[in-house]
Amino acid sequence: MLALVSWLFFRSNNAEYPHGWLRQFHSMTTAWIVLFLFFLIEFGVYLAVCPPRLAAAGGRPGRLWLWTAIGTLVVLALYRLGVYNDLAAKAALPSLLLIQVYIAATIRNASTDTEKQWARILVFLLLIGACSALNEVSRAREHPLRASPPAYEEVRIVTELPQQGVALQLFGDPEAFFWKHMAKPVAYR
């Protein structure tokens, strides 16, 4: 049911938002270097440090889930959907969670001195990776949330949104099934 509602919503959106494979937006000769660094930072360094015996500890189902997560991250990086590549930003989270669970299990299951040393390196890498969240903390400090909602007059309505970017992803065909029969009508002031 959820998939049907989602499909109807996306089907009703006739906006011209960017979508397509990476090669449509960038030269692949230069993009491969950036992609390689992205994959290295996203999951490559962590998986390279996992001891081989512990990497096989999850058995066939564990390895299948891990390779599925890696494959998903690779495909999502190669396809763009949305002005800010919203698909890759949101859809990558479950795969990243699976990889983090895999890393946590590797750290927990370390038994020999060598494995414990690799586990310490993994913890150190995770701490370095956690530093990237400091950007979000600094952004939150620069743009703090209000404790109360803004005044009604300050809130922009749908028709006041810029036609590039956000508005293009919000508007859909008003004659589409989703907007006629399922969604609440858009409220205008």
- At 12 the pLDDT is 67
The pLDDT tens digits of the residues spanning 21-60 come to 888 888 888 888 988 998 998 888 888 888 666 555 566 7
Is the pLDDT at 187 greater than 60? The verdict is no
Statement: residue 82 has pLDDT above 60: yes
Q: Per-residue b/e over 76-103, b at no fewer than 16 CB within 10 Å?
A: bbeebbbeebeebeeebeebeebbeebb
The more confident residue out of 188 and 46 is 46
Write down the pLDDT at residue 71. Answer: 92
> What are the C-alpha distances in Å from 161 to residues 11, 49, 170?
22, 47, 10
Residue 182, CA atoms < 13 Å, CB-side half-sphere: 14
What digits encode the pLDDT tens for the residues 93-124?
899 998 888 888 888 888 889 889 988 999 99
Q: What pLDDT is stored for residue 28 in this prediction?
A: 83
Query: Residue 130's pLDDT is what?
Result: 83
* pLDDT at residue number 51: 66
Quick: pLDDT tens for 139-182. 888 877 767 777 777 776 666 665 555 555 565 666 777 777 77
Q: What is the pLDDT of residue 47?
A: 85
* Residue 189, pLDDT score: 46
- Residue 174 CA to residue 120 CA, distance in Å, equals 56
Q: In this predicted structure, what is the pLDDT of residue 120? A: 92
Which whole number is the average pLDDT over 86-96?
84
Lowest-pLDDT range, 25-29, 70-74, 88-92, 148-152?
A: 148-152
